[in-house]
């Protein structure tokens, strides 16, 4: 892997900061109607992807962890 100078690293991070600012400005200027349509498209696209058998196992692990945390904090 090639090494970069501190100045190059600074310039790299500065560029990404500018990208972040532009993305934020775009998000702020996007209408609620557009955002809702985008969300609707995302929700509708779920059927394009096959079922993930590992997903339910992972969901159960998260549920179990939350249950243990709740039990520990509430007695």
For 43-67, write each residue's pLDDT tens digit: 999 888 887 888 888 999 999 999 9
Number of domains in the chain: 1
**Tokens 């609707």 correspond to what residue?**
40
In a domain, 55, yes or no: no
Half-sphere exposure of 51 (CA within 13 A, CB side): 3
In a domain, 60, yes or no: no
Cα distance between residue 43 and residue 1, in whole Å: 40
Query: What is the value of pTM for the model shown?
Result: 0.50
**Confidence category of residue 25, pLDDT binned at 50, 70, 90:** very high
In a domain, 59, yes or no: no
In a domain, 62, yes or no: no
* 12: containing domain: 1-45
In the chain the first and final C-alpha atoms are separated, in Å, by: 52
């Amino acid at each position: 892997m090639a090494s970069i100078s501190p100045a190059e690293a600074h310039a790299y991070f500065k560029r990404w900061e500018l990208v972040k600012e532009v993305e934020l400005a775009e998000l702020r200027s996007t209408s609620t109607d557009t955002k809702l349509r985008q969300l609707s498209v995302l929700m509708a696209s779920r059927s394009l992807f096959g079922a993930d058998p590992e997903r339910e196992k992972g969901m159960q692990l998260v549920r179990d962890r939350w249950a243990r945390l709740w039990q520990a904090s509430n007695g």
